[in-house]
């Protein structure tokens, strides 16, 4: 009986076009959380996908337990020293817009909503691709060369 209800529910969901085509991700800027964190679990044998905005749930928990939450305006470098500056973007990829808004809010001392409005017309900083590291011969190439060398030595020994 339950499975009939489930199938009916699925048919209704499909008919209404409720199946999501865009998925939450940690850079989607779909919430105001400073650190966006998304959980996703899916299983084809159950036919279900669960997406959870962990950051938003945690934010509600933080309100309940403020004595267990500490926010520090600084970046902990190598888990040892604090850097209270705001680093300019130096990533390989372009800066995600979500990070750009949060950085500008911090720099300007304004809310995230104000930063979104103020900087919507600007492109986030571009990434700087790292130079390609020159690599030597592959392991397969090295092994092949050794095999060829051993073959020659064997042939030389056999010829004696």
Give min distance, CB of 62 to Zn ion, in A. 11
Cα separation values, 134 from 128, 131, 140, Å: 18, 9, 17
Distance, in Å, from the CA atom of 46 to the CA atom of 96, rounded to the nearest integer, reads: 34
Count of chain residues binding Zn ion (CB under 5 A): 5
Yes or no: say if 117 and 105 are a contact pair by the CB < 8 Å rule: no
Q: Is 56 in the site for Zn ion (CB under 5 A)?
A: yes
Q: Quick one: 33 or 104, whose CB is closer to Zn ion?
A: 33
Q: Quick one: 40 or 148, whose CB is closer to Zn ion?
A: 40
Q: Quick one: 54 or 110, whose CB is closer to Zn ion?
A: 54
Give min distance, CB of 55 to Zn ion, in A. 3
Give min distance, CB of 128 to Zn ion, in A. 29
Q: Quick one: 56 or 110, whose CB is closer to Zn ion?
A: 56
Instruction: List 77's β-bridge partners, or say none.
Output: 81
Coil, strand or helix at 75: strand
What residues between 13 and 42 interact with Zn ion by CB under 5 A?
31, 33
Distance, in Å, from the CA atom of 140 to the CA atom of 147, rounded to the nearest integer, reads: 10
Give min distance, CB of 35 to Zn ion, in A. 8
Distance, in Å, from the CA atom of 155 to the CA atom of 160, rounded to the nearest integer, reads: 9
Q: Which stretches of the chain bind Zn ion, using CB under 5 A? A: 31, 33, 53, 55-56
């Amino acid at each position: 009986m339950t499975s009939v209800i489930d199938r009916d529910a699925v048919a209704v969901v499909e008919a209404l076009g409720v199946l999501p085509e865009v998925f939450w991700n940690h850079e989607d800027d779909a919430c105001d959380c400073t650190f966006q964190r998304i959980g996703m679990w899916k299983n084809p044998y159950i036919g279900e996908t669960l997406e959870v905005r962990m950051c938003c749930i945690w934010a509600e928990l933080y309100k309940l337990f403020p004595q267990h939450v500490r926010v520090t305006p600084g970046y902990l470098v190598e888990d040892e020293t604090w850097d209270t500056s705001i680093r300019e973007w130096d990533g390989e990829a372009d800066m995600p817009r979500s990070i750009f808004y949060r950085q500008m809010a911090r720099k300007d001392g304004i809310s995230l909503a104000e930063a979104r409005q103020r900087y919507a017309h600007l492109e986030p900083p571009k990434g700087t691709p790292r130079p390609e590291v020159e690599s030597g011969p592959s392991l397969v190439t090295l092994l092949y060369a050794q095999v060829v060398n051993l073959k020659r030595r064997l042939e030389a020994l056999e010829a004696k």
